Every structure is written in C-alpha cells, then in structure tokens.
Amino acid sequence: MLFQVNMTVIPPKDMPKEQFDEIKATEKKYAEQLQQQGIWKHLWRVVGQYANVSIFEVKDNAHLHEILMGLPLYPYMEMTVTPLCSHPSSIH
C-alpha cells in the first residue's frame, strides 16, 4: 500500500540544541534504513519550511502507523496521511 505523508517538525522552544541535534541524527539513521529497505520510497523537503513530503510503501495501515510512531521526531511533528492508488491515466 502506498501513502503520502506530509510531516511538519515543530521543535520545542525550550529543548537544548544539543539534545535536539541528537534526536535529528537518530531520525536520519532511521529514515536511511527505511529507504534502504524500500519502505520510504521518496523524501522531499518543502522549501522554506521545516517540513517534508514522503511516499511510503507498506504492508497495511498498521505497518505505516508503527513506522511513523517509531520516528524519533514524532513527538514534535504534525502529519497528514493520504492513501494512494494507481491512476488509470498513468503510463507507469
């Protein structure tokens, strides 16, 4: 199943920079692993925002939920999730 996930990170104002940098480094490793596994298919930065648009290919809704809840930055994110399916006019 394919899903588009829009993620906006809202860093806590009172968190020390060093602590937030550690969380971001852990997040990067997690994201890279999911990309290498073919689960996190696409990852695009949204210009001018601390946000991204991503495409995930997962087994089911529960699998996506598990992945998203595992994001180290999850507690500091707002997300929208959109299920996707093939378009009949697509040549791919």
Domain boundaries, given as residue ranges, for the chain: 2-79
Report the length, in residues, of the chain.
92
How much is the average pLDDT of 2-28? Answer: 97
| Third-level CATH fold of 2-79 | Alpha-Beta Plaits (3.30.70)
> pLDDT tens, 27-85?
999 999 999 999 999 999 999 999 999 999 999 999 999 999 999 999 999 999 999 99
Q: What are the tokens at 89?
A: 């006019």
> Dihedral through CA 62, CA 7, CA 69, CA 38, nearest 10?
60
